[in-house]
Structure 1
Amino acid sequence: MEPRKHYTKEFKLDAISLVLDQGLTIAEAARSLGIRANMLGRWVRENQADTNGQAFRGNGKLTPEQEEVRRLRIEIKQLKLERQILKEAAVFFAKETK
């Protein structure tokens, strides 16, 4: 099995341009680029559905909403840990005062 190929954002946008701007069919454009037609069709749909420029962000590049969710999850984890430490400290000091 061949390793999965990764295409750059520029390559994808150029391929989409062949279909949308130059009038080639998805099959013709895919054949000329040496890629599968269903993959090019998916790229075209994703590009057309994109309203805020987030299509083909690449690996590791999160949308602002995803970044906020990630940050909040880290904060929640930290707060839970701090709360657990405070509970254990309260139990410890309650035993010391008896």
Structure 2
Amino acid sequence: MNTRRKFTPEYRQEAARLVLDTDRTISAVAEELGVSAGLLGRWVKAERERTGEGVDPSGEISANERPRTSPTPQRSR
């Protein structure tokens, strides 16, 4: 049986602070913690909104906070 893990608000905030307070990427921290980069990215966004830290009017996240993904292969025509 597959059960979902539950994380306390404190854990989510601490995990997000690892990204916000260091120069590590979301992907690197997520791998270290054993959570998905998408989930940690949502926690980082929520922590930013909660603290008002690093608010960019456009809503963009910085390059070091984007999950690293492999480039999409180009389709040949």
CA displacement, residues 17-47 of structure 1 (integer Å, 9 cap, x when unaligned): 1100022100000000000000000011111
Q: How many residues align?
A: 52
Q: TM-score, normalised by structure 2?
A: 0.59
Q: Give the gaps of 5 or more residues in structure 2.
A: 53-77
- Largest Rg, 1 or 2: 1
Structure 1 residue ranges, 4+ long, deviating more than 6 angstroms after superposition: none
Q: TM-score, normalised by structure 1?
A: 0.48
CA RMSD of aligned residues (A): 1.8
CA–CA distance in structure 2, aligned partners of residues 14 and 51 of structure 1: 13
Per the TM alignment, residue 51 of structure 1 is displaced from its structure 2 partner at its CA by: 5.6
Per the TM alignment, residue 8 of structure 1 is displaced from its structure 2 partner at its CA by: 1.1
Equivalent residues in 2 for 1:28-67, closer than 5 Å: 28-50=28-50
Identity %: 40
Match of 1:10 in 2: 10
Could you say which structure has the higher helix fraction?
1
